[in-house]
Amino acid sequence: MTLTILDKIKAYKLEEVAADKAATPLGAVEDAARAAPSVRPFAEALRTAAATGYGLIAEVKKASPSKGLIREDFHPATLARAYEDGGATCLSVLTDTPSFQGAKTFLTEARSATSLPALRKDFMYDTYQVAEARALHADCILIIMASVSDAQAAELEDAAHRWGMDALIEVHDGPELDRALRLKSALIGVNNRNLKTFETSLDTTRTLSKRVPHNRLLISESGLNTRDDLADMASYGARTFLIGESLMRQADVATATRQLLSDPVSA
């Protein structure tokens, strides 16, 4: 059997977590989590934004395994402020280093430069990482259904809720969506990119949107480039988006964000 990128990430991530636990015991991480600034409402901010327009989770992303280096000139606090100026609702910050050239400190830096709620974008397997997310000031964690069992997903979600955080449940196909809907979280992210093959198609949102109940908030993730893409996704009921690369490639991130979110009629 050939290993997918997701298998490889899981292997190094479990090693990383083991090393982190040895260096910083859980008790110390929990103390830091308790001392963190209070949680900013992530899901609520998205719901409010989506009620009257688009909700945007804007991603601070330097590189990716499929695209390599995305942005040379990379300062998380500056980029976060640009996203906030441009009208983003929330931030997403990659904290994985080997595949995304992210860092844990980027999350704290980006969030503290703004008043926006922030998602820790990483591959979560262990509740230690959830406490650590809060210690880094995260307001929401990501749970990728393709890389965890149902029991692990529920355990991670419970841990997030115990820390007062939200969880964004990411799915890519029907069976993953069915599993996600058995969890409590309102936030369902449909990833247009298959994390095993990197193939990206907006058909993923088009197809799965029909099966997301109205009491959940559907977030279309990845591969979104233009206002037409957003309008297309909105016609399928997705008014909230997770976007990284297309905004990270712009010289003026604030203006690009504002233009992407602007009403097609008034722009």
Taking the C-alpha atoms of residue 138 and residue 166, their distance in angstroms, rounded to an integer, is 9
CA distance 234 to 2: 37
Q: DSSP assignment of 149-214, as one string?
A: -HHHHHHHHHHHHHTT-EEEEEE-SHHHHHHHTTSS-SEEEEESB-TTT--B-THHHHHHGGGS-T
Applying CB under 6 A, which part among 19-27, 29-37, 41-49, 217-225 lies near ligand IGP? Answer: 217-225
CA pair distance 68, 187, nearest whole angstrom: 28
- Choose among 203, 251, 246: nearest CA to 59: 246
Is 126 a binder of ligand IGP (CB under 6 A)?
no
Taking the least distance from each CB to ligand IGP, the nearer of 34 and 67 is: 67
Which window, 18-26, 39-47, 177-185, 238-246, contacts ligand IGP (CB under 6 A)? 238-246
Query: Least Å distance between CB 22 and ligand IGP?
Result: 25
Out of 222, 229, 230, 257, which residue is the one contacting ligand IGP (CB under 6 A)? 222
243 binds ligand IGP (CB under 6 A): yes
170 lines the binding site for ligand IGP (CB under 6 A): yes
**Residue 29 Cβ vs ligand IGP, minimum distance, rounded to whole Å:** 22
244 contacts: CB under 8 Å, gap ≥ 6 = 58, 59, 60, 61, 64, 70, 92, 222
Among 13, 55, 59, 156, binds ligand IGP (CB under 6 A): 59
Closest CA to 223 of 98, 20, 59: 59
The least distance separating ligand IGP from the CB of residue 173, rounded to whole angstroms, comes to: 14
- Is 157 a binding residue for ligand IGP by CB under 6 A? The answer is no
Choosing from 55, 76, 117, 244, the residue that interacts with ligand IGP (CB under 6 A) is: 244
Q: Kindly state whether residue 256 participates in binding ligand IGP, applying the rule CB under 6 A.
A: no
Q: Which of residues 73-112 bind ligand IGP (CB under 6 A)?
A: none
Rounded Cα–Cα distance for residues 123 and 14 (Å): 10
Only segment of 25-33, 152-160, 201-209, 241-249 that touches ligand IGP (CB under 6 A): 241-249
Angstrom distances, CA of residue 180 to CA of 157, 167, 170, 256: 11, 11, 8, 33
Cα distance between residue 17 and residue 247, in whole Å: 31
Closest-by-Cβ residue to ligand IGP is 244
- Contact footprint for ligand IGP (CB under 6 A): 59, 61, 121, 144, 170, 191, 221-224, 242-246
